Amino acid sequence: MNKSVYKSAEGRQIVEAAYRKHLDSDLAAGLTQRRVDTPFGSTFVLEKAAFGKPPLVLLHGSVSNSASWLGVIPLFARDFSVHCVDIPGEPGLSEPGRVPLASDAPEAWLRRTLDALGLDRVAILGMSLGGWYALNFAVRNPERVSALSLISVGGIGPQRISFIFKALFFLLLGKRGQALLNRAIYHKAVVPPEMLEYQALVSRHFVPVAEPLPIFSDQELARLDMPVQYFGGDRDALLDAKRAVERLGRVLPGARAVLLEDTGHAIVDRFEAARDFLARAAKA
């Protein structure tokens, strides 16, 4: 694994303290916090587990952690036993070393994490980088994924590599740069001010992933024999969602791929649609 992705040891402490504050909030009441060991270090998991309900794994995006799911866990917990997993190398409570994306490590990490949780076959909802991890796992282990819901996910259509360098430049501009970055990512999505404040705090102390997301081949995508749902925004500054939808329509004609108009990378209003899709797949 690569070295720590925090700019300083003090910065790591600040970010982790802010995350723990979210985990102590009313939104996290009734949730279980646990750690499981993997060959890639400790992995932190936030759960709303229920015996007899099918398992659902939620994977957050880059520069984020499982706190991003706190507002919607109750929605999914109606139908599923919910497991939110912090991706290593992101500003959560898992191992702070980042694994190379263009390697076997991302699949091996998620596989060993599911094994440690005792989860054999799961539905997965992934956002952005977390969706790439989900897709990467599913193409290699289709028998272990019952359904896949993807929101603003790379690996299907081209990534806008120029945005990585633009984002790094924005972060040098302080508050003004953070505002420009938020506008590019969220577009017209309504985001609570406290979430923007938390993102700004993380950005001050954390080094985001700069490695391009590997693109999956047609042969790899064709292995997805489970129900697949995809949402992408036509104004996504990070990914070419239009080409992703077109490609899914060609390679996986049974997938439910939707291009949302006047929508950026952050899609925050499709969780009910994702829940309904995953719940139907679980009952099929």
With CA atoms as reference, report the closest residue to 126 among 97, 166, 169, 156: 156
236/66 Cα distance (integer angstroms): 22
What are 194-223's pLDDT values in tens digits? 888 898 899 899 998 889 999 999 999 999
Task: For 176-225, give the DSSP string.
Answer: HHHHHHHHHHHTT----HHHHHHHHHHHHHB----SPPPPPPHHHHTT--
- Identify the three-state secondary structure at position 36: strand
In the chain, the domains with their CATH numbers are 9-283 (3.40.50.1820)
Whether the CB-CB separation of 70 and 28 falls below 8 Å is answered with yes
117/132 Cα distance (integer angstroms): 21
What are 48-105's pLDDT values in tens digits? 999 899 999 999 999 999 999 999 999 999 999 999 999 999 999 999 999 999 999 9
Conformation bin of residue 211: beta by default, left when phi > 0, alpha when psi is -120 to 50: beta
Given a cut of 70, is residue 192 above it in pLDDT?
yes
